[in-house]
Amino acid sequence: MPILQGALRLTAALGLATLGFASLSVYAAESVAVSVTIQADKPGAKIDRNLYGQFAEHLGHGIYEGIWVGENSSIPNTRGYRNDVVAALKKLKVPVVRWPGGCFADEYHWREGIGPRDRRPVKVNTHWGAVEEPNSFGTHEFLDFAELIGADAYVSGNVGSGSPQEMAEWVEYITSDTKSTLAEMRRANGREKPWKLPYFGVGNETWGCGGNMRPEYFADLYKQFATFVKGPRDNRPLKIASGANVADYHWTEVMLSQAAKHMDAYSLHYYTFPGRWENKGPSIGFTEDAWASTLNHAVRMEELVSKHSSIMDKHDPDKKVALYVDEWGTWYDPEAGRNPGFLYQQNTLRDALVASLTLDIFHRHADRVKMANIAQMVNVLQAMILTDKEKMTLTPTYHVFEMYIPFQGATSLPAEVQSPTYSRGEWSLPQVSVSAARDAAGKLQIAFTNVDPNKGAAVSAKISGVNFKAASGRILTASTLDARNTFDKPEAVKPAPFKAAKKGNELRVELPPKSVVVVAVE
Ligand code: AHR
């Protein structure tokens, strides 16, 4: 992406009439010029809707309290699932949910999570807080939940402490329509018809919590386990191989060279944090340096996806194996007074921008990246939703996912951006990120993110191949870097209407500092 260094700086009070909503101090700022060229007549790859997937692990209050409260709870629920959370997730059109982990997956034994709940064994969740795991949310509860919110199921199998037989039997239990003993057991437990099982993960972070393996060892083990992941012809899951951590390109080289023809997808995990692993930084009350560092780390996804993809291209030039970024998101220090193993953190405008920048990167790599699962759905890391007993709030990240819904299944379009950089101390990144696509209804959708918290951006977009008059949509911004929704003020950060005008042949978009805008071109 070419960067226009030292670009013209305009001082402009941004057009409040054009923005079409109430005046806030954030909308009057120094503004820089940014030019964008969108080629609406050069369709690229389809943006798989699974890029908007999520991850729900048995971790802290991610499942218990966040999704599942049980039928006898005073919190309004449907068969044990919180009504408020289910409604919010349905609105988000979640395409796919990955479960039960994460690290938890490699100590999960599926037989302990079926049958009458009061007879299921209580285990210790050794990875996450050493708390009791009641096993009340098991295979039936997860697959019914996925159906309830209209999402596909992505089940992650246990390689680290399980066996190929246990894995094979789990798949049979879920998918078989025969009279096999396992299928009959499923029926006796209340589910007559098999569930659809489109995605099955073989191992999780096998380089770490999933078994501390070498890639050479795991490549063989992967092939062994994956051989026994079957399922009937019309319900055969795609197999996902546990992949690399961040920039471990050797892992990708070995896995793809040795096992590519046995996998449908290969996973990558990358988390964003402003500091070091031992001292990541707080989720609120952070400095502008931490803001810049976080966003700078977030856009590293571009380099990671490009480099892993180019290794994949070498071994799989026809792109038969997809890249699934099945864990990504921000990871900050745990909040004081909470179990540090629960990974509960607040979610601010900064997280919203991490989400929009990352989704833009996935759009640009839509030819190889076919699924991504933000970590995690509720109450854990970069959550969509936070709950506290009967209260619930949607996070700024939720709002970005909701604003980006038109991109699900859309056709990506080339967008070239000439933007100055936003620099702060050692951190520097393009000030404006843009993503364009033609949605399923044929409408041109454009997303803009302005990462600079102090300067606006006056964007002029040339759009070839389409006649347009103007564009309208929504904006997400706020007056502080760590603006957030709380249980008392659940609507402090939420999208507002936004309009952009046509001048000459160009679309003019006035982006306030630290904002995300998605518009449909009319
Ligand atoms: O999402 C939290 C943890 O991060 C997952 O359990 C693990 O796979 C990763 O290290």
User: 348 with 482: CB under 8 angstroms?
Assistant: yes
Strands (E), 6-52: 9-13, 28-39
Mean pLDDT of 207-236: 98
Please say if 416 is a catalytic residue: no
Q: Per mean pLDDT, which range of 20-24, 248-252, 335-339, 387-391 is the poorest?
A: 20-24
Summarised one tens digit per residue, pLDDT across range 95-112 is: 999 999 999 999 999 999
Reported as a pLDDT band with limits 50, 70 and 90, residue 476 is very high
Calpha distance 142→98 (Å, rounded): 10
Residue nearest to atom 9 of ligand 1 (CA): 102
pLDDT for residue 28 = 53
User: 398 with 88: CB under 8 angstroms?
Assistant: yes
How many angstroms separate the alpha carbon of residue 207 from the centre of ligand 1? 12
User: 87 with 193: CB under 8 angstroms?
Assistant: no
User: 355 with 374: CB under 8 angstroms?
Assistant: yes
- For the chain, percent of residues with pLDDT exceeding 70: 94
User: 122 with 93: CB under 8 angstroms?
Assistant: no
Residue nearest to atom 7 of ligand 1 (CA): 102
Nearest C-alpha neighbor of 40 from the set 359, 399, 461, 324:
461
Summarised one tens digit per residue, pLDDT across range 401-414 is: 999 999 999 999 99
How many angstroms separate the alpha carbon of residue 517 from the centre of ligand 1? 30
Strand partners, 463: 38
Calpha distance 402→89 (Å, rounded): 10
Report how far apart, in Å, the C-alpha atoms of 418 and of each of 400, 457, 464 are.
Answer: 23, 12, 16
- Give yes or no for residue 29 having a pLDDT over 90: no
Please say if 327 is a catalytic residue: yes
Ligand 1 atom closest to residue 55's alpha carbon, by position in its atom list: 1
Token pair for 303: 């380099």
- Phi/psi region, residue 48 (left: phi>0; alpha: psi -120 to 50; beta: rest), is beta
Nearest C-alpha neighbor of 362 from the set 468, 258, 447:
447
- Give yes or no for residue 22 having a pLDDT over 90: no
Mutate to test the pocket of ligand 1, among 99, 103, 344, 377 (most ligand atoms within 8 A of CB): 103
Strand partners, 416: 37
User: 395 with 376: CB under 8 angstroms?
Assistant: no
How many angstroms separate the alpha carbon of residue 324 from the centre of ligand 1? 15
How many angstroms separate the alpha carbon of residue 381 from the centre of ligand 1? 10
Residue nearest to atom 8 of ligand 1 (CA): 102
Which secondary structure element, helix H or strand E, spans residue 184, and what is its range? helix 181-188
pLDDT for residue 328 = 98
Calpha distance 444→256 (Å, rounded): 36
In this structure, the residues whose C-beta lies within 6 A of any atom of ligand 1 are 57, 101-103, 204-205, 327, 375-376, 381
- Give yes or no for residue 25 having a pLDDT over 80: no
Q: How far apart are the first and last CA of the chain?
A: 27
How many angstroms separate the alpha carbon of residue 102 from the centre of ligand 1? 5
pLDDT for residue 277 = 94
Ligand 1 atom closest to residue 381's alpha carbon, by position in its atom list: 1
- Give yes or no for residue 505 having a pLDDT over 90: no
Whether the bond between 162 and the residue before it is cis, its omega within 30 degrees of 0, is no
Residue nearest to atom 5 of ligand 1 (CA): 102
Question: What does the CA dihedral 113, 117, 121, 125 come to, rounded to 10 degrees?
Answer: 60
Q: Is the dihedral of CA 326, 330, 333, 334 positive or negative?
A: negative
Mean pLDDT of 318-323: 98
Token pair for 276: 């070091």
Q: Phi and psi at residue 86, in whole multiples of 5°?
A: -60, -45
Mean pLDDT of 383-389: 98
Calpha distance 202→225 (Å, rounded): 7
Ligand 1 atom closest to residue 375's alpha carbon, by position in its atom list: 1
Residues of 415-446 as b/e, b for ≥16 C-beta within 10 angstroms? bebbbbbbebeebebbbbbbbbbbbeeeebbb
Report which DSSP code applies to 419: B
Transcribe 118-140 into DSSP letters.
GGSPPEEETTTTTEEE---S-HH
Mean pLDDT of 486-509: 96
Calpha distance 447→476 (Å, rounded): 11
Which secondary structure element, helix H or strand E, spans residue 216, and what is its range? helix 215-227
Mean pLDDT for the chain? 94
Strands (E), 94-175: 96-99, 123-125, 131-133, 152-157
Burial of 45 (0-12, 13-18, 19+ CB in 10 A): middle
pTM of the model: 0.94
Summarised one tens digit per residue, pLDDT across range 419-474 is: 999 999 999 999 999 999 999 999 999 999 999 999 999 999 999 999 999 999 99
- Give yes or no for residue 176 having a pLDDT over 90: yes
Report which DSSP code applies to 406: G
